[in-house]
A = this chain, B = another copy of it.
Amino acid sequence: MTNTAEISKTGNSKAVGGLLADELAKLVFDGSLVPGDTLPPETELAATHQISRASVRSALQLLETLGIVARRAGRGTTVQEFREWNFLDSQVSQWIADYAAPNLGVLHDVFEFRVTTEPLIATLAAKRATARDLLAMEEAFNVMEANWERRASLGERVSFSQADIAFHEAIYRATHNLVWAQIVHILRPAILLVIKTSNETAEELRESLERHRRLMEAIRMRDSDAAHVAATRILSQTGYDLGFEETPGEKET
């Protein structure tokens, strides 16, 4: 009894089934289980975890829906190949950030995705941003500004990063396109990982703040070209901080 929820870090689903799903996901994402491996039978999982088989099946069905495992009657439950993982899902994205953090090329691929798309996102946003969108951007920017001065401790940089991603999220949403809105929502944990890593290694956040301000102003002024340039510069610096690009801001005017 007194089985209080001392865990619940990712704390996703309801309760019993969700905890087991989290535990199994951790095993998969940290590499303890690799594609092709077979999980213990449902009856065994139920016995070892002191829960009913129905709850076990609930957890396994979640993992199956997300493409992480495959179940076949008579065969058992096996871990799927990486390409089958439906990792464009917020839950999966969260698990990756939590358990597979600086692993594989995920960090690189997400960053490359941003480099490719965000300048165009900014262009679209400049054409379509409503007053409400500008407000969301400004609020995020203000939080970034407020957390810049207290930049000494690393903990404060987390607040800065939280506001940072809220800023970028507002830009994605300003496109008023369902696909972009969904993508930023789904990739949020992964993007947050990118931003946090970048901001933790960055020597100076003031310049980052200034670049974000320029992007915000460009969108406000409906200057598509300026927005494109500003977004490109932000990503260029991020790439430098991450070690993906050589020159931080070669075309800095």
* Chain A residues proximal to chain B, CB less than 8 Å: 54, 58, 61-62, 65-66, 83, 86-90, 105-106, 109-110, 112-113, 116-117, 120, 124, 177-183, 186-187
Contact = CB atoms under 8 A, between A and B. Distances in A.
A interface: dominant SS: helix
Contact of A178 (B61, B109, B178, B180): B109
Given A88-B182, A116-B120, 11 more contacts: A58-B61, A62-B65, A86-B182, A87-B178, A88-B88, A106-B178, A112-B179, A116-B117, A117-B120, A179-B187, A183-B183
Q: In the complex this chain forms, how many copies of it are found?
A: 2
Given A58-B61, A61-B62, A62-B65, A88 B179 contact: yes
A14 B109 CA distance: 33
A208 to B, nearest CB: 23
B86 A89 contact: yes
B179 A109 contact: yes
